[in-house]
Amino acid sequence: MLIHQPTYERRNNSCLIIVTVLLFTISYTSFSQDLSGIAKQEAFKINGSVSAKLQFYDSDKTNPSRAPFMWYLQGSPVVTVYGIVLPFSFRLSEQQRDFRQPFNQFGVSPYYKWAKLHLGYRSHNWSTYALAGHSITGAGLELSPGKFHIGFATGRLLKPVRYLDDPENIKLQTPAYKRSGTAFRFGYGTEKNNFSLIVLKARDDSASLGEIPSKYRLTPDENMVVSFLTKQTIAEKFLFEIEVAQSLYTKDIRTALSDSVGGLMSKIFSPLLEIHESTSSSNALRTSFGYQSDLFSLMMRYQRVEPDFRSMGAYYFATDLSNITIEPSMKLMQKKLRLSGSVGTQVDNLKNDKNLRTRRTISSARMNYVPLPQYSMSAFYSNYGLAQESGLLSIDTLRQSEVAQATSQIGVTQSLNLTGEKLGHNLMLNFNYQKLNDRNENTAQYSEFATNIFSATYFLTYMPLSINASASFLYTGYTQDTVVTIASGPSLGLGKSFLKNRLTTALYFSIINNKIQDEDSGKTNTLTIQLGYKPARNHRFALKFYYNKNDRQSTVHNSYYENKLDFDYTYTF
């Protein structure tokens, strides 16, 4: 289990911290600012909010879900210095005392015309495989003179996570080396026609940790990824995109050197990366081609990522897959009707070294229809299939556990909105159906299911008296192995504002009846009362009472009730 180190530090003296960190705001904030206009910015400004809550709870549950009394005080002050925004937050309660300041993950990106400087905690998204949104704590520079695009970033990718000698496992965290990296980007072109070359080099610092137990199997790694991507628009309507990446990943930099891995890439970049016996080479590709216009588009996408492809510039992406999809869309009836869809397939086991190959197929369609401003309807359909094919072993030998499933889903939503001078009406209808079919007779009785969900909601607003009311009905049916479970019931709501909307009131009540095989299994009644009062612009009081009564007609689950009363005060400055 991996527990990341927190990005904040606890302090006993919050005021001292605020004063200290403000001294560094000019050089260490999370903001991108145009230096040409800094003289026009206000020198110092503070705003935000502070709120306090008292909560009372009562229940006859054997194990209540919360304490009888709770309180907390929290705030989110925002300090602005010359246009640079610095958000803070704190929370005090009977259980914890936290002060959070964002400077551990803060950075500044001042720019002037086509030059931008990055300092501190920054995130770059230059490519899908080389540098895909990974944060870098360090420095960087981006230059965009004319059609040229040059980028450079260097710094820490991951903080070291130290091993904790805790025999009782009270504090769990998996140790990790400090990881540093450098990325370079060179590109040329416009938004419609361009190409870029991205190179990432990252390495773990084996000296950043002390001795680690062998059970963690932690090794200091090294990685280089080279990615080439281009986007070309042809005749204004045809679009072509491709990204090709190769990764050289060394699993342990302590292994012996070698010259038998990497091919041409290792030779070109040999001054930057040493090849070890644990170094492997792998590739990734994504491409798309299609036609796009205002009324019609048709795109075809293909992706292939080899099983061992790894990149230290990306947090996560799926590997050992090859997929292809076709995605059409069109607009009809003067753009009132929009149709779109997708059909595709995905397979794994690209190197045919697994016992089985899994094939996934998906088809979907979506429709949005707005014939009138007052009425709209949307519908979707999807069918997702999962099946196994022979790999190193024949599928016939594994027939008992073969996976062969298909999940289909359909949904329809309709909305009618009629608004007059005094009355406003809104009606919403929603239906959703989902079913899983298992074609393996040995597992079907455990995995097949079907779900039906239907809801209808009506909202009424009487504007002269600031009254709003609602009525809704919910039905949920779930079927598995011939057992049918149904939950259904109505809910009502009523609200009104007083004193020119400074005082708001609301009342909600719902009943849910539960049935199993047409026999009553229990009922849930819920009542909520809300009061809100805003005596002045910066002050707001809120009172909320919640009551839940669950009557169970079962020997397994007991009936219970619970009450909760919340009192809130918020000051905005």
- Gap between the Cα atoms of 2 and 163, Å rounded: 12
Name 144's Cβ contacts closer than 8 Å, sequence gap at least 6.
Answer: 114, 115, 116, 150
Cβ neighbour number for residue 369 with a 10 Å cutoff: 16
DSSP tag of 39: G
The pLDDT of residue 465 is 93
pLDDT in tens, 210-268: 777 777 788 999 999 999 999 999 999 999 999 999 999 999 999 998 877 767 777 78
Please check the confidence at residue 269 and state whether its pLDDT lies above 80: no
- Specify the 3-state DSSP secondary structure of 268: helix
CA dihedral 437, 443, 446, 447 (to 10 degrees): -30
Beta strands in 27-131 (DSSP E): 44-47, 49-59, 69-75, 78-81, 84-87, 89-93, 97-100, 107-108, 111-112, 115-125
| Range of weakest confidence among 129-138, 259-268, 450-459 | 259-268
Q: Average pLDDT in the 186-193 region?
A: 96
The pLDDT of residue 463 is 93
The pLDDT of residue 445 is 78
The pLDDT of residue 166 is 59
| Range of weakest confidence among 60-64, 71-75, 417-421 | 60-64
**The pTM is what?**
0.77
Please check the confidence at residue 198 and state whether its pLDDT lies above 60: yes
Calculate ∠ Cα 190-288-321, nearest 5°. Answer: 130
Name 519's Cβ contacts closer than 8 Å, sequence gap at least 6.
Answer: none
H-assigned helices in 382-463: 444-447
- Gap between the Cα atoms of 378 and 415, Å rounded: 9
- Gap between the Cα atoms of 528 and 291, Å rounded: 53
Is 370:378 a contact under the CB 8 Å cutoff? no
Cβ neighbour number for residue 262 with a 10 Å cutoff: 20
What confidence category does residue 94 fall into, taking pLDDT thresholds of 50, 70 and 90?
Answer: confident
Is 139:109 a contact under the CB 8 Å cutoff? no
User: Which of these, 317, 386, 388, lies nearest to 349 by C-alpha position?
Assistant: 388
Most confident of 38-42, 173-177, 335-339: 335-339
What confidence category does residue 185 fall into, taking pLDDT thresholds of 50, 70 and 90?
Answer: very high
Please indicate whether residue 120 or residue 444 has the higher confidence score (pLDDT).
120
Q: Average pLDDT in the 311-319 region?
A: 90
- The tokens for 501 are 């909307």
Average pLDDT, the chain: 86
Is 505:496 a contact under the CB 8 Å cutoff? yes
Is 138:320 a contact under the CB 8 Å cutoff? no
- Gap between the Cα atoms of 249 and 281, Å rounded: 7
Please indicate whether residue 502 or residue 391 has the higher confidence score (pLDDT).
502
Please indicate whether residue 538 or residue 38 has the higher confidence score (pLDDT).
538
